[in-house]
Amino acid sequence: MAEHISRVLVVDDEEEIRKILSRILEKESFEVITAPDGQQALQRICFDAPDIVLLDVRMPGLNGMEVLKKIKEIDDDLPVVLVTAYADIHQAVEAMKEGAYDYLAKPFDNEEVVWVARRALAEGQLKRNLKSMNDRYRGNFGLIENMGPSDKIARLAADVHRVAKSDFSVIIMGETGSGKELVARAIHGDSARAEAPFVAVDCGAIPENLLESELFGHEKGSFTGADRQKLGKFEMAHGGTLFMDEIGNMPAGSQAKFLRVLQDRKLNRVGGVKPVDVDIRLIVATNRYLLDMASNGAFRKDLYYRLSEFTVCVPALRERKEDILYLAKRFLDLANIELNKMITGFTDAAVEMLMSYDWPGNVRQLRSVIRRATLVARDEITEKDLSIKRAELPGLAFSPKVHGTPWKNASLGEIVQQSVLAVEKEVLNEVLRFTGGNKARAARLLQVDYKTVHTKVKKFGIQQNGENYGDKT
């Protein structure tokens, strides 16, 4: 197969600039095509399919910003690098908010031109690869296949496909971070309700006194602060699927009302007297054994049997080691795009460490570790870049205490919890070090809200060089 030669479209109304950029890029084996204005540039994009575009900001007719918007309408994944005079750099920066990849300031540095072009090319190729993968697995059955190539995932995919065609209630069992919501979304997406809403609710995150209002809604004036009517999750999911995560945390008092709604397919909003019809497919998830809870009186037996028409078990990541590297590479691709990096892969030592770790936080923890490693790595992710300590690896010594308790007296759950907290603290500390203690920027990088970062900084007592990050915004 012939090697693909990368094609660059240079758009500038000055012929000399077009010639200079062409010479620089052709020396590096790029194929260069040119256009003197925005209109011809758009034609060349349609007919010549360039891999990247170098676009002048100031041009007669369509200016660079206008051309950029039209390019994004044609091909949103096509990388565009703005070419600008120093005085117009602020405009180029604004253009990056509209989707431009980067900018080059005149006069050009030859090495910078080549470097930016290669990075833009890699960015475009990465986006196309991911898009191709997503298109391939556009069907929701493919969502499960994307969890890994192992036999365990293949069996999980078969279970999902089998139950999706029914309207059975489903219990999804699995450890925290194993991908239970992804499985629920796959079931919904492969079902007859796929075009209707998918509504998720975390039973463990809602205070007991607000749970019924969240699930069933309330009428205006039904309690202090109820200044308007509110639809609950059941009504929001009408015609579609209601996914209830950590169902084992539902208070006993709410379980009876929940069961009644499932049986009658009707509900009463808090403070309401008129029944409301609801049509939902129910999927619940838990990291606890509901049958044991039902036997011990911690969960209603009749509710359990109503929910357990079909049970799906999501294997822990440590039980499917062959999926670890596959997922790590996918998460690296995503992190490269998010963080504007070009990390090429993993060293052998890093791979060994990834494969040796037990991943108590499962896929969620793996993704967090890879994102953090991508942030701090230079070329490849090394053993040092991974936020996994040798002390946390199987067969090696680990901390002898869990919150002051000798480990021999600690439960497995306590030990696992502390391991996850240790990783969480280290990741947060590293990101804050990268942002210079700016918690708002750290929150954006970690994809959480500012309050979460602020709270955890205080919780962990994170400090550096005598400075408490808890006091810095």
Sorted by where each begins, the domain ranges of the chain are 7-136, 140-315, 322-471
* pLDDT the model gives residue 369: 94
* pLDDT the model gives residue 57: 86
| Of 380-389, 390-399, 407-416, 424-433, minimum mean pLDDT range | 390-399
Long-range contacts (CB closer than 8 Å, 24 or more residues apart) made by 92-97: 92/57, 94/65, 95/57, 95/64, 95/65, 95/68
* pLDDT the model gives residue 98: 78
- Locate 21 and state its tokens: 């950029």
- What architecture is the 322-471 domain classified under in CATH? Orthogonal Bundle (1.10)
- What pLDDT, in 10s, does the model give residues 284-325? 999 988 988 999 899 999 999 999 999 999 999 999 999 999
* pLDDT of 447 over the 70 cut: no
pLDDT band at 391 (very low <50, low <70, confident <90, very high): very low
**Topology, domain 7-136:** Rossmann fold (3.40.50)
* pLDDT the model gives residue 398: 35
Spatial separation of the C-alpha atoms in residues 283 and 427, rounded to whole Å: 33
Domains 7-136 and 322-471 share a fold: no
| Of 72-76, 138-142, 242-246, minimum mean pLDDT range | 138-142
Higher pLDDT, 402 or 459: 459
* pLDDT the model gives residue 88: 64
- Locate 332 and state its tokens: 């690296």
Higher pLDDT, 177 or 139: 177
The mean per-residue pLDDT over the stretch 246-256 comes to 88
* pLDDT of 10 over the 60 cut: yes
Residues 6+ apart with CB under 8 A from 109: none
Spatial separation of the C-alpha atoms in residues 157 and 302, rounded to whole Å: 29
Rounded to 10 degrees, the C-alpha dihedral 226/230/233/239 comes to 160
* pLDDT the model gives residue 418: 67
How much of the chain, in percent, has pLDDT values that exceed 70?
A: 84
Q: For residue 175, with 0-12 CB atoms within 10 Å meaning exposed, 13-18 middle and 19 or more buried, which class applies?
A: buried
* pLDDT the model gives residue 413: 55
* pLDDT of 450 over the 70 cut: yes
CATH of domain 140-315: 3.40.50.300
The mean per-residue pLDDT over the stretch 436-442 comes to 76
* pLDDT of 138 over the 60 cut: no
| Of 15-24, 241-250, 298-307, 432-441, minimum mean pLDDT range | 432-441
CA–CA distance from 57 to each of 14, 36, 39, 69, 94 (Å)?
12, 12, 14, 12, 11
Place of tokens 């809200």: 449
| Of 33-37, 59-63, 179-183, minimum mean pLDDT range | 59-63
pLDDT band at 375 (very low <50, low <70, confident <90, very high): very high
* Count of C-beta atoms within a 10 Å radius of residue 173: 17
Place of tokens 């039980």: 319
* pLDDT the model gives residue 211: 82
| Of 39-43, 108-112, 145-149, 289-293, minimum mean pLDDT range | 145-149
pLDDT band at 136 (very low <50, low <70, confident <90, very high): very low
Higher pLDDT, 440 or 184: 184
* pLDDT of 105 over the 50 cut: yes
CB 84 within 8 A of CB 57: yes
* pLDDT the model gives residue 192: 93
pLDDT band at 394 (very low <50, low <70, confident <90, very high): very low
